[in-house]
Structure 1
Amino acid sequence: MPIRIPDQLPARDILVREGVMVMDDTTALRQDIRPMQIGLLNLMPNKIKTETQIARLIGTTPLQVELTLVRIGGHKAKNTPEDHLISFYHTWDEIKHRKFDGFIITGAPIETLPFEDVTYWDELTQILDWTKTHVHSTFNICWGAMAAIWHFHGVPKYTLPKKAFGVYRHRNLAPASPYLAGFSDDFSISVSRWTEVRADDISQDMGLEVLMDSPETGLCLVAEKTCNRLYIFNHVEYDSTSLAEEYFRDVANGTPIEVPANYFPDDDPDNKPLNRWRSHAFLLFGNWINQVYQTTPYDLAEIGKHHD
């Protein structure tokens, strides 16, 4: 089934060109099924790029998905046109009465700040608490994952001596997990962060299971079964050129940065990078959507009634 997004959203044309099925409202209403309700809290500066990346991954599952774009109400975006936000985004206050089958919280380029120093930390903690009663399953990405695992479990983040930056081999630590169905024993994932969460800080009584890690960059994917939460600290959603754009931006700004590891052929930034994580990105998001579909109540009103 296709993904249902607003007709004028910039992501629509990109996804159609890539062969992702996009559904208009008229067609959606003809289908006698309840679409999956997925919310995306987009904390990234360039919201158009991020919403396209996420829509691409959830738009190729065999289920009808309706994507709702959400932003922090008290924070002004610097890299996204105001008319785009007005046209396509809801503040959390505007949608907090609703229930969602799935809710995605993105990363943000603020990871070296203490959580409490983030200008919208109070609103984000309210949103995280709200997910316990209004969301069936939450998928937290990079800084969003660090914020969520800190808020719910007190697991800290640590600043790295240098940026973890590149494409790294990862290990499948839980082949029986429904989230890793079809995964290889090892696979590549793009990494871009200045901080890390450590496995030693995760205790058995937290109800957390480590599903993926990398010998070089540590924890990657953690699942929390009782609350249907996923925490991923790396960027499976990235485009082929995302790491290159970050690298050339930092070079242009004079920010010290190394060439992303295992990314440009021959480690030469003049060479076109190869995407080696795309298939597992689709697989992970497809598995998550399928797991949500298999376990969410048909009646949205029932969501959250049995969460801890």
Structure 2
Amino acid sequence: MPLVADTDLPAFERLRKQGQEILAPGRAQRQDIRELHIGLLNMMPDAALQATERQFLRLVGSSNRIAQFYVHPFTFAEIPRAADAQAHIDKYYSRFDDLKEQGLDALILSGANPAQSDITTEPFWPPLAEVVNWAKDNVCSVMCSCLATHAIVQLLWGFERYALPHKRWGVYSHRVTDQCHPLTANIDSRFDAPHSHVHEVNAQQFRDAGLIVLAEGAESGLHLGASPDGLRFVFFQGHPEYEAVSLLKEYKREVMRFIAGVRADYPPYPQNYFFDDARDVLDAFEKEMAACSGNFANLRPFPEPELAKTIDITWSDTGKAMVNNWLGLVYQVANKDRAKVFMDGVDPADPLGLVAGKSHVDKKPI
């Protein structure tokens, strides 16, 4: 499914240069193909704002080609922004009030970097609650990423995330726990996925609340789940949208925080991510840093370009397949009229027909 570049958002041009198919509006309007309009609530801080756009746009644009995707990024005024990030938002982002009026077929909620353990005290909590309470009645399906998953299960199902002894950080193996669900159709029974969080919810909490667990890992815990109806809310605790270097950039930020004296301990490696040549490069850099005895003025730059060449990506195909399945299901049950949510005859409480045991959707991707 090609993305439609209906604005001058820089992410479109960057993705085009990386081989992604991007349609100009004029070409899109000449094609007799159905549109799907997807909101992207981007709650990430300034440093990750545009990278998050690209990551989710890539996932959406890698899906099948039976529809044209219009992605509408938006965010909250309550999240503090530097001048350049705010200028980007002012130029390219939609207003939530306008999206409510126009309607959306689907909605993606990004993660965020909270400052507080209690996420209900974060400045984004009230506007997020407003978006979710509107979406649960007016959008076919909402896909939640990491912290958004934690927030929505607390808001709608009443159970809370908890702190981990150490940050869950790295690439982990997972198993599909329900291969008959259409969201996991044609997914390998075992697959990798990145995680990066210091709080989590677990699979047992999901099951106790009547939610569906679709994939989990022995080390990482819950990765993919869904609301009891199977579609209205889709939950990722991991990060299928991450690029190969996303964890590398996170690790570099932690090293820079250590050098700046913000972090007391030297950061441990993300698990199952740096191997062989990468470890050699990192060990050499750490030794050089230790030899500086706290005076880092002459320390060479962090070897990010050299490390990037050593990193393998082992999760993107599975992430794309899961999002492809999700959007294929939205395509099958969403009403073409965005003022309505579902096609005629679709039960809003059981849009896939799974609860009644009378599935009326194709389990294979469209």
Q: Which residue of 2 aligns with 1:56?
A: 58
SS of the aligned residue for 2:106 comes to strand
Q: Give yes or no for contact 1:73–1:92 (8 Å, CA) kept in 2.
A: no
8 A contact 1:4–1:25 mirrored in 2: yes
Contact preservation (8 Å) 2:6, 2:70: no
| 1:278 paired residue number | 316
Alignment deviations for residues 63-88 of structure 1 (CA, whole Å, 9 cap, x no partner): 21111111113323248522211111
Shift of the alpha carbon at 1:243? 0.4
The answer to whether 1:301 aligns with 2:339 is yes
Kept in 2, the 8 Å contact 1:7–1:24? The answer is no
Deviation of 1:200 (Å): 2.6
Q: How does 1:1-308 map to 2 (within 5 A)?
A: 1-45=1-45, 46-61=48-63, 62=65, 63-78=67-82, 81-110=85-114, 112-203=116-207, 206-226=209-229, 228-254=232-258, 255=263, 256=265, 257-266=267-276, 268=279, 270=281, 271=307, 272-303=310-341, 307=348
SS of the equivalent of 2:105 reads strand
- SS at 2:101 equivalent: coil
Paired with 2:126 and 2:105, the residues of 1 have a C-alpha distance of 24
| Structure (1/2) with the larger strand percentage | 1
Q: What per-residue deviation string (whole Å, max 9, x for no partner) do you get for residues 133-179 of structure 1?
A: 22110000000111011111012101111100110000110111111
Contact kept in structure 2, 1:6 and 1:88, CA below 8 Å:
no
Per mean C-alpha deviation after superposition, the further-off stretch among 115-124 and 49-58 is 115-124
**TM-score scaled by length of structure 2:** 0.79
CA distance in 1, matches of 2:97, 2:317: 36
Give the unaligned 5+ runs of structure 1.
none
Structure 1 residue 123 displacement after superposition: 1.0
Letter in 2 for 1:258: P
* Shift in alpha-carbon separation, 1:269–1:48, aligned structure 2, 3 A: farther
SS at match of 1:95: helix
CA contact (8 A) 1:222 1:232 kept: yes
Contact kept? 2:207, 2:213, Cα under 8 Å: no
3-state SS of the aligned residue for 1:51? helix
SS in 2 for 1:27: helix
4+ residue runs over 6 A deviation: none
What secondary structure sits across from 2:234 in the alignment? strand
Mapped partners of 2:70, 2:336: distance in 1:
15
Aligned-partner Cα distance in 1 for 2:211–2:22: 35
Residue type of the alignment partner of 1:301: A
**AA matched with 1:18:** Q
Counterpart in 1 of 2:289? none
What do residues 192-244 of structure 1 show as CA deviations (whole Å, max 9, x unaligned)?
1101102232345x441100101011111111143621011011100110101
Q: CA deviation at 1:274?
A: 1.0
Q: What is the identity percentage for the equivalent residue pairs of Structure 1 and Structure 2?
A: 30
- Secondary structure of residue in 1 paired with 2:204: helix
SS at match of 1:268: helix
Q: Any unmatched runs of 5+ in structure 2? A: 282-306, 350-366
Q: Please give the per-residue CA displacement for 1:10-54, whole angstroms capped at 9, x wherever unaligned.
A: 111221122211011111111233310100000111211000010
SS of the residue corresponding to residue 188 of structure 2 reads coil
SS in 2 for 1:132: helix
How does the TM-score come out when normalised to structure 1?
0.94
CA 130–80 in structure 1, closer or farther in 2 if over 3 Å, else same: farther
Structure number with greater Rg is 2
